[in-house]
Structure 1
């Protein structure tokens, strides 16, 4: 409301009158929501449930970078010859498919499955990165290029923050919260159960609480929490995939095809 009525706005809202800019911004926002949220949930899963150290978990998540680098060049080549709309939208579809592919293999998740899913996600990220950045930053008039760049970066940070919040909340709500009654029945207070729900079972806080239980009951509670975390992470990854696919549909609807784009078998 204010930006529309001042002579020198921080963000000139004329930017959002261009549908290609809006479409690319939606792709960037939802891509970051899906990818950042999935990486955060997977890093916790690999450490807390699978028992890997933070360093090893980080190494397992690296392969996505390989396909990002490879498909970055492919996305750039497509951009020079065709409309940036198609690689941007189809790249986001791959991000969604990769996230859902990982989730279908939980809770019996192997490291190979995580790597395979992340390779698909990385391919999508690489495919869309250059076309989206070029459309958002280079598309607007030169006088608005700086503002466009700032909006682009803001959408990336906002998307990443929202993705981590939403997918972490989904993991807790649909998974670990269901395990709280088990720990209460084993002898923990409701407050202690809630603390364990909101912490990693391998964390210092959780260990101090769980050590109050007899060895046998402690093992049962940990096993239930691990299973619940797996179930919650699976649902969270599906949510991340759905966010990406919904973003692709919305961007495809808003983002017009480039005029003058070559068609198959043109008539003379």
Structure 2
């Protein structure tokens, strides 16, 4: 895409194209580090969990722990971004993320690994929230598409290159080196952010952190997600543990709502839910989270456990989904920037998301891989069209004073959907696999018996609940195991598919607001001017038109000024139905 030349005298708060590119350098490197550190282990997790003697529940929790921490921390980072130095917060989040990744490389058991994944999630929540907020600081909603190609290239390098590098490192060296690979890039990212990221200055605000809201939201969401993760396995759904977990979660979240209605700087402003764009985007984001996080994780298991791929091959086999997400979202971003039309892309994406999930629910271990690739591409394209555009339309529709909270709230609910979906679908998979083992126990016993001593060793491994390394199993057993996991993973996609219909309905009813051509700085200035003008008019004594003429105001000015407070109301318009652009 060709860039228009910078204006000779750019407006206050407006950066030239060259300045934007310079400021994005460090941000792009930081995003690359976060993506790389997260994806480099994705295809290696079955090997890692098996080497640490973990079971299916451990595998699920290695993923869920990161998502849980990301979910809880995202709104906290977003609120801090409205109050504190966003550049410093970005560097802090990056440091937490990468250092915890490095420590994870020394894990001796799944408990230590899960603990470090929690810290990864804390840093990852900051990167996810702050990157969106910083983009809004320097790029207007309408112009955002011009730069999506850069973000698409970085995401492609991280999401495709990470699993490939991780698979190669796991197969050729040792899986522990996957956690160290991002360190040199992290050092470069911190330096680049310090030197190149220049953000416009906003008027300082008194910092009032909602500590009670942080504690209550963390407790409520954690209890709820832990219950979803462990229910049906560690304890029965109808049990005392369920009663106190669900009851505690409901009580904590109810108290959170009460606190948010009273504190001066709420963690998540509940007034935002009066905005139709915000509310519908939240609903859509929840199911997008299930599609994005759940399918990526379970597709890796499908490739390795149902198709017998090793870590490197698994990375290559999931490229179609990433290609669909990155290529289609980049093209859509350019078209949105050019024409200013976004709703058709979001609705189309929601349809593709649902179709992709339904089709993936039909796969088996021996389904033609061309068909599997097509299904993955459709799903990736759908997620790519919906995910980033939901954040874009929310940033376009809310008051800019609350942009950080609103942006992180959408990301929070997407992570919440992904975490809850991951936990629930993981529990479903963990329950379904033993059932299929029991159904095919006769075939499996016969296959194991034919292998003699080797078969006895494999049977002992299965009895311990450890995930098998399928590509290392001998053929009679391998085919049965692939069939079991192929059918189990397909059922996961079948259950997830109806959730995509919620995204479609929300997308259809989203208010089709035009995208603003102004940066956050310009819109903040405009909003302050509008509020100040309204306040000045409200404090001015009403005068008769004749008196206005006598005072030198002019009859025409007096008649135009007096009705203005009734028409302006920028806050009310935005909160009522999405509002108008600044």
TM-score calculated relative to the size of structure 2: 0.38
Cα offset, 1:142, TM superposition: 0.5
Conserved? CA contact 2:291–2:383, under 8 Å: no
Separation in 2, partners of 1:141, 1:224: 57
Match of 1:121 among 368, 379, 385: 379
Q: Give SS of 1:52's match.
A: coil
Name the CA shift for 1:246/1:106 in 2 (closer, same or farther; >3 Å). farther
Conserved? CA contact 1:180–1:193, under 8 Å: no
Over alpha carbons, which structure has the higher Rg? Answer: 2
Name the CA shift for 1:139/1:150 in 2 (closer, same or farther; >3 Å). same
Cα offset, 1:50, TM superposition: 1.4
Cα offset, 1:111, TM superposition: 2.6
Q: Which moved more, 1:47-56 or 1:70-79?
A: 70-79
Aligned match of 2:468: 201
Separation in 1, partners of 2:462, 2:440: 9
Cα offset, 1:3, TM superposition: 0.4
Structure 1 position 139 matched with structure 2 position 139: no
Deviations 1:138-170, CA, capped at 9 Å, x for gaps: 321011101012212222322222232222222
Name the CA shift for 1:131/1:138 in 2 (closer, same or farther; >3 Å). same
Separation in 2, partners of 1:127, 1:111: 24
Structure 1 position 98 matched with structure 2 position 352: no
**Which of 1 and 2 has higher RCO (CA within 8 Å, sep 6+)?**
1
Conserved? CA contact 1:104–1:234, under 8 Å: yes
Name the CA shift for 1:60/1:181 in 2 (closer, same or farther; >3 Å). closer
Conserved? CA contact 2:305–2:486, under 8 Å: no
Name the CA shift for 1:162/1:66 in 2 (closer, same or farther; >3 Å). same
Conserved? CA contact 2:364–2:483, under 8 Å: no
Q: Which moved more, 1:91-100 or 1:105-114?
A: 105-114
Aligned match of 2:407: 149
Aligned match of 1:231: 487
Aligned match of 1:66: 323
Cα offset, 1:4, TM superposition: 0.8
Aligned match of 1:266: none
Name the CA shift for 1:85/1:16 in 2 (closer, same or farther; >3 Å). farther
Separation in 2, partners of 1:259, 1:156: 22
Aligned match of 2:290: 33
Note the 1:1-268 alignment, pairs <5 A.
1-76=258-333, 77-78=335-336, 81=339, 84-180=342-438, 183=441, 186=445, 195-196=464-465, 199-202=466-469, 219=476, 223-249=479-505, 251-252=506-507, 255-258=509-512
Deviations 1:92-145, CA, capped at 9 Å, x for gaps: 221121122122232322332222111111221222234212112232101110
Cα offset, 1:6, TM superposition: 1.8
Deviations 1:204-231, CA, capped at 9 Å, x for gaps: xxx9xx9xxxx9xx945x5444322211
Separation in 2, partners of 1:192, 1:119: 35
Name the CA shift for 1:149/1:258 in 2 (closer, same or farther; >3 Å). closer
Q: Which runs of 5+ in 1 are unaligned?
A: 261-268
Separation in 2, partners of 1:115, 1:121: 10
Q: Which moved more, 1:77-86 or 1:225-234?
A: 77-86
Name the CA shift for 1:74/1:25 in 2 (closer, same or farther; >3 Å). farther
Q: Which moved more, 1:60-69 or 1:113-122?
A: 60-69
Separation in 2, partners of 1:161, 1:5: 29
Separation in 1, partners of 2:347, 2:279: 13
Conserved? CA contact 2:305–2:481, under 8 Å: no
Cα offset, 1:183, TM superposition: 4.7
Q: Give SS of 2:361's match.
A: helix
TM-score calculated relative to the size of structure 1: 0.76
Conserved? CA contact 1:176–1:228, under 8 Å: no
Q: Which runs of 5+ in 2 are unaligned?
A: 1-257, 450-455, 515-582
Conserved? CA contact 1:96–1:240, under 8 Å: no
Q: Give SS of 1:9's match.
A: coil
Separation in 1, partners of 2:291, 2:406: 22
Separation in 1, partners of 2:463, 2:354: 32
Separation in 1, partners of 2:345, 2:434: 37
